[in-house]
Structure 1
Amino acid sequence: MNWIIATNTKYSSMIQDGSIHIYFWVMFYPFCIGWKATLLLDEGGSPALYMNHTSGTWGFSEKRMKVYSVDQWSLSPDDVLDELPIDPNRNNYVRRVHKCIFSCVSPTPFTSEVRLIAVSEDVLENLLDLAVSVGATDEFLQFVSGRDFTGWRPLAHRYGGHQFGVWAGQLGDGRAHLVGTYINRFGERWELQLKGSGRTPYSRDGDGRAVLRSSVREFLCSEAMHHLGIPTSRAASLVVSDDAVWRDQFYNGNLRKERGAMILRVAKSWFRIGSLEILARSGEFELLRNLADFIITNHFPSINSKDPNRTLAFFSIVVSETASLVALWMSVGFAHGVCNTDNFSLLSITIDYGPFGFMESYDADYVPNTSDDEGRYRIGNQANAAMFNLNKLRLALNPLLDARQQQLATQVLEGFPGLYYQRFTELFRSKLGMLGENDLDLTLISSFLDLMASAKADFTMSFRQLSEISLDELQSLTIPQEYWALQDISRQNNFPAWVDAYILRLKSDKPEIHIKKLDGGISSAQG
């Protein structure tokens, strides 16, 4: 094979702004195949990424690539979402939508001046291949504020859901727009979505807007969750306007004027349990099959897309990964607040940050959502809520399963509690610094949580301080003031017995390692 590379001189001036057009010919005797490609250059001027304009596909080098201008950056030209049906009605008014996955609708920009107030450098550089300096440009501001979508086709997703245990019918993206997908230099496919970007056919009684208060919370929390190692959507940017948005923050009938804001957030997929539920509920079984197969093919590479048991395998993975996700939430004291089926991702990532909260004093009945009067989504009930949601997913998938597969799906769901407690135990075992496995570990963990609950001790600091205190101080039960959270726990009657059992557990597993650690402090425990 001979490679012949030639450049056309009329493109040479483009090298300065980070790109160059090159013509490639690949010689296969007796055939000659040619194509035009665009190369994006890294900051050293070396090729980093190319796009084949003939096929619309991308190629990647191992060099670190950054794009220094929005003008050079583009969403993927071969969006796989194009395979899914779009509502033929292109008018933007609230209505019932049928027999489609998306509606085509453009964002509604703010009428006042917008200001960029936050960007995630990690998302820009490592997910979207954008240099951080791009975030300071007006072109970037126009994009992330929904003002410039020339040549693109923003979409709003149709889905339904069970809210607080009751089928709510059609819901959908009422204030969000999927603006497209991007394939980065690692070959990762990311879907970009604006939130707070205006009304859609799914807005119901809403105004399509988000306020600064809740947008700041989502921006900070989604990035924090990622860096805590918890699967989540990401936030790329946050803009604020002077447009007035009226909100009843505490659901007590008192409206207050707030400033409108808009987030650009990214995820590998925004499909959720409600995406499939609405199709099953509407009797759109062919579309249900098509969407399920689309999700399996594009997001579950471990499943053979031709396997007759592929839907069952998909359900099994979602059950397992959701169990792990909720256990991870619990390990950091995170309460989602609205664990409805429309807020549970089919990729088992944390999405739709609303009235969430992080538990301070340990309380299994902690409820961050002031509208959750019955405490359905209290932190200690999140696993039960997840199992409820997974059962609704099972029912939605039933039309795609034969009788035997339906029975197996029921068995898979029945295994959820075991999967959850297995992951829960692994995580809290690590937080307590215990190596290996012991049948009594869950009991030891539960006893410590009970002590924390009785003492109303700080959840995070109890584990942090346990990792810092010395063995002598712990055994003496004389807890220094600097370990104030542990000091609260030490006042409980059962604390001495728990300490004895805890130290015995540490020494029983690889004692030569633990004894060395215990001499200077229980350094293996983590908060």
Structure 2
Amino acid sequence: MNDEPQAERYTPAPVIETISDWIGERVVPADFPTTKIRFRNDTAAAEVGLAELKDAQWERHFGRFEPLDDNLSAPLALKYHGHQFRVYNPEIGDGRGFLFAQLRGTDGRVLDLGTKGSGTTPYSRSGDGRLTLKGAVREILATEMLEALGCNTSRTFSVIETGEQLERNDEPSPTRSAVMVRLSHSHVRIGSFQRLLSHEEAGRMEELVSYCLEQYPGPPPPEDAPGRTEPAVILMHQVVERLADLAASYMVAGFVHGVLNTDNMNVTGESFDYGPWRWLPRWDSSFTAAYFDHGGLYAFGRQPEALQWNCGQFAVALRLLAETEPLVAALERFGPLYTESVARRWCWRLGVRSRGIEADAALVAACEKAMRDTGTQPDTFFFSHRGGRGADDELAEVLHQYEPVADARSHPYWQDDTPQSMLIEEVEAIWSAIDERDDWQPLHDKVAAVRRMGEAHGLPPRPAGHV
């Protein structure tokens, strides 16, 4: 790729090479019949110096996985274990994806390019290592909507259709295939640490803790935290802070991930791996996204519990390096941090100034009650009440105490007739246009509309522990 044009700030940073001999296995990408670009995120590409790639170059790198200059010489499928619906599974790992490259963004932080649907690996088990085109389209929509609503999420970087016909038992088959590339800060998961605990590899866990603290720095633990200078304890505090905020972001967005297993939790607190996700049609804590979640383990209202439980499993793994007391002390911060983050994000989405945690908690409760009582769809509720407008009855008594932020309704989006949402009916309609007529315009239009909504909201509030 030496003769290919790239933005000046393309900066390869294959830092995982320092632990690559044990964190994963080198693999060979699938050789697809065809490669046809269906989505390229040039906004994200510009942030890592790759927006200048021509389409043919893009296909070679993100469809054929020709290495980027001075980057990983071969893809790396990562090893990990995990609790899947709270049942421990040591037989997992990157089964249809791999880490393709690492590079620095415009802010100097390391970013990963990881794949989904790129072929079989030693951890594929009985899977074919492929991704349906519909699954890729759904991930585009999920990540764009989450980013616009201020959630810390992986970003869909590329989708390339690959010309295979796939058989799936949970959707009409045969169906079209694709390979997707995600951009995120880390592919190191809670399950990565669980695997090292299972093998009692304390030395490698120390290496992994050091890697995470160096590559994904955050603030130190509170001054009164026990063991606050120990690396494992520092990382525990940071992960708790990040996942508490992630849980809050889901709730304020009205989003249901559907599969919050420990292998789907990374140490940077970024949401990723979107399967049976949904946005709420109404405010309902029992709403589930996955048809196979019969007990409602990952229902909308149980998501904070799920992420806290996952943090608990992280603490169990880190017991290989640290004493119980300081890890439990970090874990006990989850609840208060979550409450603070919900209040902070709720005020942000409403476009009003915080009045302190107690007042903000009362505001959240009043808004939730109003949505339950009226059946108002959450996106419509936040849109209608932006800047404190539109409230009546009990909610008005609370909301009218709040001052709108200066630019709460300055963006033209807030004068639209209806807000953007991502309900399943529209998602299916967008897919049907592609599936039946190969019409990609509804998808492109939706992405543009959602990004406009993100501009209207502005940057979300971030806790100190975020990378």
Query: Could you tell me the TM-score, scaled by structure 1's length?
Result: 0.70
Matched, 1:290 2:212: no
Structure 1 counterpart of 2:26: 104
Structure 2 counterpart of 1:449: 368
* Greater displacement, 435-444 / 120-129: 435-444
Q: Displacement of 1:182 after TM fit?
A: 2.0
Secondary structure of 1:247's aligned partner: coil
Matched, 1:222 2:222: no
More strand by share: 1
CA distance in 1, matches of 2:23, 2:372: 45
Q: Give 1:139's match in structure 2, choosing from 45, 53, 57.
A: 57
Written as runs of structure 1 = structure 2, the 5 A alignment for 1:55-454 is: 76=12, 79-86=14-21, 100-110=22-32, 112-131=33-52, 134-136=53-55, 138-146=56-64, 148-149=66-67, 152-184=73-105, 186-249=107-170, 256-300=173-217, 302=219, 308-402=229-323, 406-438=324-356, 439-454=358-373
Q: Displacement of 1:80 after TM fit?
A: 2.0
Q: Displacement of 1:124 after TM fit?
A: 1.5
Q: Displacement of 1:79 after TM fit?
A: 2.3
Name the larger-Rg structure. 1
Structure 1 counterpart of 2:423: none
- The alignment covers a number of residue pairs equal to 401
Q: Comparing both chains, which one has the higher relative contact order based on Cα–Cα distances under 8 Å and sequence gaps of 6 or more?
A: 2
Q: Match of 1:198, as an amino acid?
A: G
Could you tell me whether the CA contact under 8 Å between 1:296 and 1:303 is conserved in 2? no
CA distance in 1, matches of 2:361, 2:142: 29
Could you tell me whether the CA contact under 8 Å between 2:65 and 2:100 is conserved in 1? no
CA distance in 2, matches of 1:497, 1:223: 34
Question: Measured at CA, do residues 181 and 455 of structure 1 come closer, stay the same or move farther in structure 2, by a change above 3 Å?
Answer: same
Q: Displacement of 1:392 after TM fit?
A: 0.1
Q: C-alpha offsets along residues 420-466 of structure 1, whole Å, 9 cap, x if unaligned?
A: 01111122233444423242431332132123123321111012112
- Which consecutive residues of structure 2, in runs of 5 or more, have no partner in the other structure? 222-227, 416-455, 458-467
Secondary structure of 1:427's aligned partner: helix
Matched, 1:458 2:377: yes
* Greater displacement, 208-217 / 138-147: 138-147
Poorly superposed stretches of 4+, deviation over 4 Å: 301-304, 468-471
Q: Displacement of 1:468 after TM fit?
A: 7.6
Secondary structure of 2:320's aligned partner: helix
CA distance in 2, matches of 1:226, 1:333: 13
Question: Measured at CA, do residues 501 and 265 of structure 1 come closer, stay the same or move farther in structure 2, by a change above 3 Å?
Answer: closer
Q: Displacement of 1:500 after TM fit?
A: 3.0
Could you tell me whether the CA contact under 8 Å between 2:133 and 2:176 is conserved in 1? yes
Structure 1 counterpart of 2:397: 500
Q: Displacement of 1:244 after TM fit?
A: 1.2
Query: Could you tell me the TM-score, scaled by structure 2's length?
Result: 0.79
Question: Measured at CA, do residues 123 and 497 of structure 1 come closer, stay the same or move farther in structure 2, by a change above 3 Å?
Answer: closer
Structure 2 counterpart of 1:3: none
Q: How much identity, in percent, do the aligned residues show?
A: 25
